[in-house]
Amino acid sequence: MSVIFLIAAAAVIVFRTAKTAERLFDEIADTVKVI
């Protein structure tokens, strides 16, 4: 049971990190466009 919970938690963390990275990349792209 704990293993499944750990895998689910890891998946959520990876998903959030990917979303944050995508948003960060969009901001960087916008900054590059301005320059």
Distance CA 33, CA 19 (A): 21
At residue 32 the predicted structure's pLDDT band, cuts being 50, 70 and 90, is confident
Given a cut of 80, is residue 23 above it in pLDDT?
Answer: yes
Please give the single-letter amino acid code of residue 8. Answer: A
Given a cut of 80, is residue 35 above it in pLDDT?
Answer: no
- DSSP states of 11-26: HHHHHHHHHHHHHHHH
pLDDT at 7: 94
At residue 9 the predicted structure's pLDDT band, cuts being 50, 70 and 90, is very high
At residue 21 the predicted structure's pLDDT band, cuts being 50, 70 and 90, is very high
Distance CA 4, CA 35 (A): 46
Residue 21's nearest CA partner among 32, 29, 10 is 29
Given a cut of 90, is residue 34 above it in pLDDT?
Answer: no
